[in-house]
Amino acid sequence: MSPYFASLILSFTALILQAGLTGAAPTSQQWLKSCTSSNERSEAVKGAFSHAYGGYKKYAWGHDELLPVTRNYSDSRNGWGATIVDALDTMLIMGFDDDYAEALKFVSTIDFSNSSQPAKGFETNIRYLGGLLSANDLRPDPILAKKAIEVTEAVLLPLFDSPSKAPYTDMDLNAGKPKKVSAIDLAEFGTYSLEFTRLSQITNNPKYAKFSNDLIDRAISVPTEFPGLFPTTWTVNPFEPVDSSVITIGSGGDSFYEYLMKNYILLGGSDKKLLETWMDTVESTQKYLLSPTKQDPNVQFVAMINDDTKLYQSDELICFWPGNIMLGTSQVQNNSNLINFATTFMNACETVWKDTATGIAPETWTWSPKTKSETESLIKTEVAWDMFRAIHKYTRTAAGYSLINDVDDTSTTKGNLQESFFLAETLKYLYLIFVDKDCVSLDEYVFNTEAHPFKLPHPIKAQH
């Protein structure tokens, strides 16, 4: 099991749910009720969640991750119970109310100011803050809002205490100050905007959004060689791009680009610069990075650029991009080109899964380029079902689900880790694919990069 396979399922979910963008959203009560509807496939995914979370409760309760082979635990996320917080909204969506009540009691005891290891800002933001905000949006509770503020004040805001106001990457809670670094990735500083915006909205305190959104505005104002595409590495002081660094939509840059459109939607379309930059990104990706493969010119991947040289390699994180483009079509008129681009790229990501022995995507791959291009098939839920069956067949253990070491070996050994995002992202997205497409209305919610849905203050206005 690639530890990043949720990106592709995210795009499948967006492609399937995008048709539900109408401008009229159901109420929260209707939404939660519809999410508990069942059929054979959604029940199978719920069963997988029950097995994964049950193993975690038995062998790793209160810790960050389950080690499903040795039936032990790991605390790679500061020992604050990452699996519990990351899975809160999945429990609500799937209807595991007893587990949720137990989890909420645990959340009330977390001390985000205490950890023996430095806290990574990026992971703390998307898993802990994102999980708390999402659960609060689905079922408001003072405990969740309180803990969201606590983790932000104790861990995340101090990271921005640099001369340039760009965030450092890690918070040393023992020392009470961030660990100073000289450089930071696009995704590391660009993935606070959605969470901080939502926190400002629910607290009526604009300071959180100001920290992140002012920084994004500064970043996208920097002139670049390729409009909308930015070097992945930036110096913290001064805050500026390292021109010789890699340009990629994948690892290191992915959620920066993902959040341009998503924060535009969460802000109700008020920041037009986000939309303009996102459009530049899509157009430059098509113009400079899109590359058909030699093996099949109908299969087109997105390359990366390093020192003005195009590199024909990618990683599985990049497969979020088709879904993000489809989400963006709701905000752009005359969008047939975007739909074709998203579908073509989605087909390419699908082939990576199908071409492995296990039917599970690798973390990285390369290809030989060719010039011809053509759009092919539409995404179907059958492909997602094949993915789920492959995950179930090759990663399931007696205690949960584990990453595997070689996706091209059907007898591969298991890596002994059940990531919290398996419950937060993978199983949630699969479940949403197999239930009613209106279960989570994209008129009413926007997902963060860890698959946590944030409620929009106002229903989305589709531009069709």
Domain of 18? Answer: 6-455
What's residue 25's pLDDT?
41
Assigned domain for 463 exists = no
Assigned domain for 460 exists = no
CA angle, 324 as apex, 320 and 325 as ends, to 5°?
120
- Supply φ then ψ for residue 172, to 5 degrees: -90, 100
Alpha-carbon gap, residue 438 to 261, rounded angstroms: 21
Question: Crossing angle, helix 97-107 and helix 142-151, to 10 degrees?
Answer: 50
Assigned domain for 398 exists = yes
What's residue 118's pLDDT?
98
Alpha-carbon gap, residue 331 to 313, rounded angstroms: 30
Assigned domain for 234 exists = yes
What's residue 399's pLDDT?
97
Which amino acid belongs to residue 234?
W
DSSP codes of every residue in 377-396: PPP-HHHHHHHHHHHHHHHB
Q: What is the largest CA-CA distance in the chain?
A: 58
Assigned domain for 58 exists = yes
Our count of domains for the chain comes to: 1
- Read off the tokens for 367: 């290809």
Q: How far is CA 366 from the centre of its chain?
A: 23
Assigned domain for 223 exists = yes
Q: Is 334 exposed, middle or buried (0-12, 13-18, 19+ CB in 10 A)?
A: exposed
Assigned domain for 461 exists = no
CA angle, 447 as apex, 53 and 286 as ends, to 5°?
125
- Reduced to 3 states, what is the DSSP secondary structure of residue 351? helix
Alpha-carbon gap, residue 464 to 459, rounded angstroms: 15
Q: Which residue shows structure tokens 């390729």?
A: 226
Is the distance from CB of 85 to CB of 127 less than 8 angstroms? yes
Is the distance from CB of 194 to CB of 327 less than 8 angstroms? no
Assigned domain for 149 exists = yes
pLDDT tens per residue across all 464 residues of the chain: 443 345 555 665 655 555 445 444 434 444 555 577 678 999 999 999 999 999 999 999 999 999 999 999 999 999 999 999 999 999 999 999 999 999 999 999 999 999 999 999 999 999 999 999 999 999 999 999 999 999 999 999 999 999 999 999 999 999 999 999 999 999 999 999 999 999 999 999 999 999 999 999 999 999 999 999 999 999 999 999 998 889 999 999 999 999 999 999 999 999 999 999 999 999 999 999 988 877 777 778 888 999 889 888 877 788 889 999 999 998 998 889 999 898 888 888 888 777 677 765 544 333 334 332 222 233 468 888 988 999 999 999 999 999 877 777 777 778 899 999 999 999 999 999 888 666 788 889 999 999 999 999 987 765 54
CATH number at residue 164: 1.50.10.10
